[in-house]
Amino acid sequence: MNPLLGKLQPYPFEKLRTLIAGNTPPASLAPINLQIGEPKHPTPTLVKDALAKALDGLAAYPLTAGTPELRQAIAAWLARRYGIPTPNAETEVLPVNGSREALFAFAQTVLDPTRGAKVVCPNPFYQIYEGAALLAGATPVYGTPESWQGVQLVYACSPANPSGKVMKLDDWRTLFELSDRHGFVIASDECYSEIYCGEAPLGGLEAARKLGRSYERLVAFSSLSKRSNAPGMRSGFV
């Protein structure tokens, strides 16, 4: 067995169940639902219809990189949503089986534990960040580190879960400048990008464009789970 498995923490909901076990809530109070952040609206009909029409495709293995049509549709959406030039669908877009899996696998790809890797996570944080860092042999750092030396990966989540905080352009500028100085990669978790009132939140690719930068050392992760009420479909893109 991988000895690093012993460093993993129980999922927050398991801890919560242990904390409240044996407690009977007052019958006069309405419960506050603290379970997993699952959409409460039905999956759109167009999504269900598309899945039903594609059932014959279950008899064949899918393309690892997704179909060209899917990648092109993702690239076109990114351009519309963030006001950026249409990304190259062949080299800059990759469909994934949900952003959670991609966020985890990404750490295993970019981290080099032989150099004392550190991974910076927001705090409070999505537990996948911590688990990905630990199983990659890195040290998770919660919040702003005292020193950026050894940082190889930063998970940025905007809009943030669970605080809802949205990174402004100045926040992105600071993060990009730190990345330039220390050479770490930014994993921008944007699975809540389409849940907002009023002005659409700024994304990492959009921020880079506004600051006149390339997308070097920046990878953005999106998910259909929240925005399309389809967490069971396990569909997202990078």
Q: What is the model's pTM?
A: 0.90
Domain chopping of the chain, boundaries: 3-7+39-237
> How confident is residue 96, by pLDDT bands cut at 50, 70 and 90?
very high
3-7+39-237 folds as Aspartate Aminotransferase; domain 2 (3.40.640)
Torsions phi, psi of 142, nearest 5? -100, 115
Long-range own/partner contacts, residues 205-214 (CB < 8 A, 24 or more apart) = 205/78, 205/82, 205/84, 205/87, 206/82, 206/83, 206/84, 207/167, 207/169, 207/172, 207/173, 207/176, 208/172, 208/176, 209/82, 209/83, 209/84, 209/85, 210/169, 211/169, 211/172, 211/173, 211/176, 213/176
- Which residue would you say has higher pLDDT here, 41 or 173? 173
Torsion-angle region of 164 (φ positive above 0: left; ψ -120 to 50: alpha; else: beta): left
- Does pLDDT of 189 surpass 80? yes
CB atoms within 10 A of CB 62: 12
> Could you tell me the two tokens for 52?
């039903």
**Average pLDDT, rounded, for the chain:** 92
Residues 122-175 have pLDDT tens digits of 998 888 999 999 999 999 999 999 999 999 999 999 999 888 899 999 999 999
As a whole number, mean pLDDT of residues 208-215 equals 97
Closest CA to 237 of 141, 147, 102, 142: 102
Percent of the chain with pLDDT over 70: 100
CA 86/CA 220 separation, integer angstroms: 15
Q: What is residue 110's predicted lDDT score, i.e. its pLDDT?
A: 97
CB atoms within 10 A of CB 160: 17
